[in-house]
Chains A and B, each alone.
Chain A
């Protein structure tokens, strides 16, 4: 293999006789094609590929781009429901909204940026946000929110784990804040299983006019259609990013494969792009639009052509790039950030370029940024790229879209029966404070104060204010949209199927608790090596669990239909050596609330109101944080999940909000009832003098079970006048209600225990404990 230039053939017939050796030599030069793929590519083209083609197919067939190990599994997820406009397959999913916002659609995307964030936390997390934001914009939408699900290693361990945490938060903040997109929450969890592979899942949501969704393809009709590349000049940054995300993190310095974020350029680029959206809608110009990600110019142009059933002729030399020399295959495939590609009729090209280059003066914002006509769509279904007359790529478009499949063996992991420690912690007072001081249940406020949650002026309920964040669709209409996430790594490690079902249920319950109807799901499946049959077994089980829950919880959006998955992502190779991360399906649920005025937050309002628990609090401590952290019993499965009852609970929750029967709602999840009550108390204004008093005697169980059981449930603050209707409705839904206490005038939490004992905590002591967990780790205290 003595290839010097991009248009020379990558291998000869002699070399092809030993595909294993060839594959290894390709890998040394940064091209990931396994032995089977080397042969396949030769067959597909009917000849040896040119070097640029080998690079391109190496990217196209990477796990990151092709989902080659998981595509067959993903088909098991329910994706169809009447509200779905565009399901999985495009850059983002699209769902319709009900009246009075039926003229808008909601655009949803979910991505991971795990490997880059481990290697370069600030840039990795920032480009994670940048990438998912582009996925939303390229559907013709305005991005109105981002969420992030973060998994970090043991925060008491190596300083690098905390550096990753600090860097990731800084990266999300620096990019999202500067871009002007509000952060709508997410979750943060810690486990030693993420020490060497943090997870950064970024979700983004957008709004587009219902008739303004733009597809990622060459439109129908004669055209002639031109490809126009806009944004940052191409450089070598991020070259090899897809291969990087499709392999194990190694010893070599991989920082060069992480892309460089530029939220400033992105902001101006997006503002200019919205001006283009306006023009093409006004003038009814058909067009296609797609963002550049892995595979750069090659992937974006070939996929736009292939999706439209066309071919393309791309003149690479016409694209804008940095002034220093770039090898053509790098120019063709680099993952330079902040770029989009338009396909527009010839008659619109000049106006399009003028919007970016003159009206918004992109070149003044970033040297060399602009808009260039780089080629045309053709009718011959051939994809051809030239570089100053030399052919770099010439193949059937279908070859590019021919997905690569690998059937990986899957096996069920034997899970050792966890051992009971027989420990019992008697001092409930100390236990609660200890749990609050720990990283699992401590407040996340220290982190989310880094994020702007209110830019754009749509925000109604912010992180920490309720079980979901809520924004308005249009400022003068009452419709709101709500977002919440789910995914418990401990539960998924013990039982990936049930853990995954819980992830869906938790996200949907969060949305329902604030009063919104669960409307659509997105997910990311974060796992270890797909070559490991047990990892594939975990993955299959997780997909089954996701499906089961989604099938049961679609009623509130469309009776008789599942809650649809509309977009998703798979991230494999989150593993170093033998250490795979815990199976981590992470789910976001979006919901629709009819009138934001009925949104229920978690802060209680006024003394005299009744606290009502809806659910069954006597199910034992298996799977609970209390069991893991206090009893030191690990590996227990999650509490059971009755999906029929769960659906009833969510329907009831929406009814409560719509009928205005309650003033506050908060779900029982991590940390159990005790944590729910603490959070309802601490969410009230700091200077407020309300407190909570509850009596757990009626449960007739051990106090620890009553307070720390994590079986899903909801706690409501209900006024006396509404209590009869509230309770009757619960009975109608077949749900058990427990009036457990009242809001009082004594700032603090008081729990009346069995045998007439009482335990109480001042608000101050709870607040100090909850605040200390992340603040201390962040500042390297007591680690």
Chain B
């Protein structure tokens, strides 16, 4: 039997359907876990996905109310027990506000409002992310330096901390599995390569054990190679162009985002 993943649906979340689909395409079994169910029933799953959207309408602050939810108490317990949890976009905001990322329970990071020249608020575009050396269960099967094109769509995605040097130290300690980069994999210094002003171009942060990941881009949205943004160049862009020109069925092969769920599947094959 394939491992079971709960896609935790707080009210206002809106990416649950494609999240389930992405997990299933990776060969996992997945179902939506609605917020009105008893929290203890979460214990029956092998892994957890907190999807994107607007949990509790982003009231007070993105992710802030859901972070205090009794469901998250259970998630904190299973995280401590080593079960994988991935929070995507709003899910990442919940994990950061709950102190599950970067870990130890203290809230030492924020996903703050984007900072972009001559723009405010929400911003949606395809970006490039580079795999960094880390022990995240979601990316450790990938070569550091590999470039994954992924879509972002958020208003509050700027990883930052009140503690000077904290974000840089997370990079050094291998808790930053993805950083924004250029199409060629160079550091993203400024907008638009770094789309939100995140410190050190951080796109995702995991806990020290590597089982909990807060990721701002949306790996679940595009599952077919032919559907990735037409603005995407580099090796993935070339693959897509070739598929369209020469090999019609190739356009339905895996898109880059599926790598993240492939990592989860491999981890669960060993762990469960």
Which residues of A are in contact with B by a Cβ distance under 8 Å? 170, 173-174, 177-180, 263-264, 267-268, 358-361, 364-365, 446, 449-457, 459-462, 465-466, 475, 595-599, 601, 603, 605-606, 660, 663, 683-688, 719, 775, 778-779
Which chain B residues border A687 with CB–CB below 8 Å?
A: 182-184, 233-234
Check: B29 CB closer than 8 A to any chain A CB.
no
- B14 — nearest CB in chain A belongs to which residue? A180
| Sample of 23 A–B contacts (CB below 8 Å) | A177-B153, A178-B14, A267-B12, A267-B14, A267-B54, A361-B11, A365-B12, A446-B119, A449-B119, A449-B124, A450-B124, A454-B153, A455-B221, A462-B230, A465-B230, A475-B21, A597-B248, A597-B249, A597-B252, A663-B241, A683-B231, A687-B233, A778-B118
Report the minimal beta-carbon distance from B198 to chain A, rounded to whole angstroms. Answer: 17
Complex interface: chain A residues within 8 A of B184 (CB): 687
A605 and B229 contacting across the interface, CB-CB below 8 Å: no
B181 → A minimal CB distance (Å): 12
B99 shortest CB reach to chain A, Å = 25
Cα-based distance from A263 to B18 in the complex (angstroms): 20
Q: How far is the CA of A457 from the CA of B11 in the complex (A)?
A: 19
Q: Which 3 pairs, one residue from A and one from B, show the smallest C-beta to C-beta distance?
A: A180-B14, A685-B233, A457-B18
Question: A597 to chain B: which residues have CB within 8 Å?
Answer: 226, 244, 248-249, 251-252
Task: State in angstroms the CA–CA spacing of A258 and B15 once bound together.
Answer: 30
Question: Could you say which residues of chain B place their CB within 8 Å of the CB of A683?
Answer: 230-231
Instruction: Compute how far the CA of A264 lies from the CA of B10 in the bound complex, rounded to whole angstroms.
Output: 11
* Residues of the A chain whose Cβ atoms lie less than 8 Å from the Cβ of B237: 685, 688
Q: Is there a chain A Cβ closer than 8 Å to B177's Cβ?
A: no
- By the criterion CB–CB under 8 Å, are A457 and B234 in contact? no
Q: Is A178 a contact of B54 with CB atoms below 8 Å?
A: yes
**A475 CA / B230 CA spacing, docked (Å):** 19
CA distance A174 to B120 in the complex (A): 13
**In the complex, are the beta carbons of A456 and B118 less than 8 A apart?**
no
Q: What CA separation (Å) do A239 and B119 show in the bound complex? A: 35
| Chain B residues in 8 Å Cβ range of A360 | 11, 34, 36
Of the residues A361, A660, A686, contact of B36 by C-beta under 8 Å: A361
Interface of A is mostly: loop
**Looking at the complex, which one of A267, A465, A595 makes contact with B248 (CB distance below 8 Å)?**
A595
Which of under 10, 10 to 19, 20 to 34, or 35 or more describes the interface residues of B? 35 or more
**What chain A residues lie within 8 Å of B11 (beta carbons)?**
264, 267-268, 360-361, 364-365
Closest CB of chain B to A270's CB: distance in Å? Answer: 10
Given contact pairs A173-B122, A461-B230, A660 touches B54 in the complex (Cβ within 8 A): no
**Does B151 have its Cβ within 8 Å of any Cβ on chain A?**
yes
Centre residue among A178, A446, A605, A685 by max chain B CB count within 10 A: A685
Query: Which chain B residue has the least Cβ–Cβ distance from A180?
Result: B14
Residue among B12, B17, B244 making CB contact with A457, cutoff 8 Å = B17
Pair A454/B248 contact, Cβ less than 8 Å:
no
Which A residues lie within 8 Å of B230 (CB)? 461-462, 465-466, 601, 603, 683
A459-B221, A605-B245 known, 9 other contacts, Cβ within 8 Å: A178-B14, A179-B14, A358-B36, A361-B11, A466-B230, A597-B252, A683-B230, A686-B183, A779-B118
Contact status A719-B36, CB under 8 Å: no
Report if A450-B14 is in contact (Cβ < 8 Å); known contacts: A465-B230, A606-B241: no
CA–CA, A360 and B12, complex, Å: 11
CA distance A684 to B232 in the complex (A): 8
Digit string of B114-132 for contact with A (CB within 8 Å is 1, else 0)? 0000110111110000000
Taking a contact as CB atoms under 8 Å apart, the answer to whether B122 and A456 are in contact is no
Q: Given A180-B53, A454-B124, A778-B118, are A685 and B14 also a contact pair (CB < 8 Å)?
A: no
Does B223 sit at the interface, judged by CB under 8 A? yes
Contact across chains for B251 and A450 when beta carbons are under 8 A apart: no
Query: Which residue from chain A places its CB closest to the CB of B128 in the assembled complex?
Result: A687
B34-76: CB near A (< 8 Å → 1, else 0) gives 1110000000000000001110110000000000000000000
Q: Which of B15, B124, B125, B237 has the most CB of A within 10 A?
A: B124
Complex contact B231–A455 (CB within 8 A): no
B65: min CB distance to chain A, Å: 11
Closest beta carbon of chain B to A462's beta carbon, Å: 7
> Given A462-B229, A688-B233: A456 and B36 within 8 A (CB)?
no
State the CA gap A267–B58 with chains docked (Å): 13
Please give, as numbers and ranges, the residues of chain A lying within 8 Å of B182 by CB-CB distance: 687
Task: Tell me whether A264 and B229 are in contact (CB under 8 A).
Answer: no
Contact, CB under 8 Å: A359 / B223:
no
Select A268's contact among B12, B124, B229, beta carbons within 8 Å.
B12
Which B residues touch A465, using CB under 8 A? 229-231
CB distance from A767 to the nearest CB of B (A): 12
CB within 8 A of B15: which of A264, A455, A598, A719?
A455
Please determine whether A452 and B36 come into contact, CB atoms closer than 8 angstroms.
no
Residues of B within 8 A of A180 (CB): 14-15, 53
Within 8 A of A (CB), among B216-253: 218, 220-223, 226-227, 229-234, 237, 241, 244-245, 248-249, 251-252
- Chain A residues in 8 Å Cβ range of B17: 456-457
Tell me the complex Cα distance, A365–B57, Å.
Answer: 9
Question: Is there contact, CB below 8 Å, between A685 and B122?
Answer: no
Q: Is there an interface contact between B222 and A457, defined as CB atoms closer than 8 Å? A: yes
- Most chain A CB within a 10 A radius of its CB, from B218, B220, B221, B249: B221
- Which A residues lie within 8 Å of B233 (CB)? 684-688
- Write the chain A residue with the least CB distance to B22: A457
Q: B54 — nearest CB in chain A belongs to which residue?
A: A178
Kindly provide the distance from the CB of A763 to the nearest chain B CB, expressed in whole angstroms: 13
Give Cα distance in the complex from A599 to B21, angstroms.
23
Taken together as a complex, chains A and B put the C-alpha atoms of A358 and B241 apart, in Å, by: 50
The distance in angstroms between the C-alpha atoms of A174 and B12, with both chains bound, is: 13
Residues of chain A contacted by B222 (CB below 8 angstroms)? 454, 457, 459
B248 pairs with A457, CB closer than 8 A: no
Contacts A178-B14, A267-B54; A459 near B122 (Cβ below 8 A): no
